[in-house]
Amino acid sequence: MKEFNYVIKDELGIHARPAGLLVKEAGKFQSAIKIKKGDKEADAKRIFGVMGLAVKCADEITVSVDGADEAEAIAALEAFFNANL
Amino acid sequence: MITLTGKSVFGGVEIGKIAFYKRNERQIKRWRVEDTDAEVKRFEEAKATAISQLQALYEKAMRDVGEENAMIFEMHQMMLEDLDYLDSIIHIITGQEVNAEYAVSTTADNFAMMFSSMDDAYMQGRAADVKDISERVLNILSGAGQSGIDTDVPVIVAADDLVPSETVQLDKKLVLGFATMYGSSNSHTAILARTMNIPAIIGLGEALKPEYDGAFAVIDGFDGKIYIDPDDETLEAMKKKQADDRAKKALLQELKGKENVTLSGQKINLYANIGNSSDVGLVLQNDAGGIGLFRSEFLYLENDTFPTEDQQFAVYKLVAENMAGKRVIIRTLDIGADKQVDYFNLDKEENPALGYRAIRICLTQPEIFKTQLRALLRASAFGQIAIMFPMIISVGEVKQIKAILEEVKAELREAGVPFKEDIEIGIMIETPAAVMMSRELAKEVDFFSVGTNDLTQYTLAIDRQNPKLDVFYDAHHPAVLAMIKMAADNAHAEGKWIGICGELGADLELTETFLEMGIDELSVSPSMILPLRKKVREAK
């Protein structure tokens, strides 16, 4: 399993549009991908779960990836967060 | 005649019949199913149909209203494929041995509730999306006919509120305008109305009665009014307003995208004055080169308490982003005189025009000022924001302002918050003192903007509110014009630019005078941009 922490810079947090893009990105990989904010956790492949975390600007989240393609997945997701959020 | 009043979302006048948007009202019944596998399959098929409908809507929206507005239908497809949503539905069908309609409806309520209970207005709004996708599936499951408007001539579409899939499905040729009981200016209906360029009024409330279905009416999107069974006088007035508006739109077609340049090649910037972030649509529609005066007062006037930094930031950022790199000059708060706000606790004054107002409040209550400056600086990272300070009378004030601005910048830098380091600052020239000091003031700032209303009143010592003084009042008084010329010469001597943002800027009789003075920018109400451009292009 691999994970990284990320502090959200987008003013609106993970709102609908980036949530959709994130789910799309996560869906490209076989690995299980989770996003954790505080004690709440959501499956990054499920849009309602991701939106339900209500991640706001300046929130710190942990992204964890577990599975066969975790190395590619974690690199892609880090790049995604840096570019979009 | 009945007059209804709501909140205007987009201007325009249209005359026609009202048609209420019809929905297939259905009650969700719960019944037991024996073969739950077949029921799950029935749901899966309905879901697949819904997704292909959404894909078609997405493609239609891409063509009609652009990617930004179409995105919602892509989101809706994703939501329909969300595993939590699907698990819940399938779990209800199989676990409780019930019909798919009931499972979808129950799941929709639960998910909508999750969003409406979130402490974030944006997320609360997403509850409507959940309902929208679920309604679609329910319609397919129940084999209900098309919802919509039943007409073959263009109508004013009325509804309680419309969800995105409803507005985009409407045949645009049949829609004269939108009138809704509820909704917000950020709702999809409002956004689409702006994109579709048709009048829209929201928040009409219960006064918009279903019994008006089929009634003859006029929708005036400029004033946010609907006249049902208009009398002859109103109808005539509205026809004239409509004709004026159409003439303006024709002018727009002719002049849009053209340069503001005189026959001899002199160029001038034509910017727009706005009083609210919702006016940006008008600014863009009228092809303004920027915003020359964004009055920030509305943030204070619409609030019961001081607007927070984040509240202000969101508004400034939105405007800067929507203007996409064009200059947005935001004037710091100009409260006092005729604009009073309770929570400022200002004393009653004998002579408020000469009193405790604008920059005088800011410099004596720096915490109010700094909150606004912080919001402005933060927003400057998202567009071409310039800050303008009102009611300046001395170089000392400008130095004091700049010192406070530097403090705020240092704080932001310290906190690692991005902002535009070389943000432009300017001052209003609206006091005779500022004119007399303009050479020195020009050394301190990037630009001037002449506020002709106050400058005229202070120069002529005439109170515009007093009708008895009308005989003495001359809008084109040579003293005022000499003041403007002096400020312009001094600005130019220091290599700075000067604009005019008061009423005189839009006075077509003075356009040539201002061009002769070398005024660099005129900022006027959005509707005056194109007439002014026409005047400039005809000037020598």
Please report the pLDDT score of residue B1 as a whole number. Answer: 93
Which of B82, B111, B120, B308 has the most A C-beta neighbours within 10 Å, making it the best mutation to test the interface with A? B82
Whether residue B415 lies within 8 A of chain A, CB to CB, comes out as no
Annotated active-site residue B91? The verdict is: no
Give start and end residues of each alpha helix (H) in B97-187: 100-116, 121-125, 127-142, 164-169
* Consecutive H or E run containing A80: helix A70-84
What count of other Cβ atoms lies within 10 Å of the Cβ of residue B465?
Answer: 9
Please report the pLDDT score of residue B448 as a whole number. Answer: 98
Which of B51, B58, B83 has the most A C-beta neighbours within 10 Å, making it the best mutation to test the interface with A? B83
Determine whether domain B36-142 maps to CATH 1.10.274.10.
yes
- What number of C-beta contacts closer than 8 Å exist between A and B? 49
Tokens of B172: 């645009």
Could you give the ipTM of this predicted complex? 0.83
What count of other Cβ atoms lies within 10 Å of the Cβ of residue B392?
Answer: 26
User: Which tens digit of pLDDT belongs to each residue from B15-67?
Assistant: 999 999 877 666 788 889 999 999 999 999 999 999 998 998 899 888 887 77
* Average confidence (pLDDT) per 10 residues, chain B, 540 residues: 90 92 76 92 94 90 80 88 92 93 92 83 80 89 72 89 75 87 71 76 90 93 94 94 86 84 95 88 88 92 88 94 94 82 83 89 95 97 96 97 97 95 97 98 98 94 81 91 98 97 92 96 90 92
Residue ranges covered by each domain of chain B: 2-23+147-237, 36-142, 263-538
For B145, list phi and psi in degrees, rounded to 5.
-70, 180
Q: What is the DSSP string of B313-331?
A: HHHHHHHHHHTTTSEEEEE
Q: Which residue of A has its CA nearest to B111?
A: A48
Q: Do B84 and A15 touch (CB under 8 A)?
A: no
User: Which tens digit of pLDDT belongs to each residue from B461-478?
Assistant: 998 777 788 888 888 999
Calculate how close chain A gets to B315, using CA atoms only, in Å. Answer: 12
Q: What is chain A's percent helix, strand, coil content, to nearest 5?
A: 40, 25, 35
Please report the pLDDT score of residue B46 as a whole number. Answer: 93
CATH superfamily name and code, B2-23+147-237: Phosphohistidine domain (3.50.30.10)
Provide the domain limits for residue A25: 2-84
- Could you tell me which CATH number the domain at B263-538 has? 3.20.20.60
Q: Do B83 and A45 touch (CB under 8 A)?
A: yes
Q: Do A49 and B84 touch (CB under 8 A)?
A: yes
Q: Report the alpha-carbon distance of residue B452 to residue B297 in Å, rounded.
A: 18
What CATH number does residue A51 fall under?
Answer: 3.30.1340.10
Domain count, chain A: 1
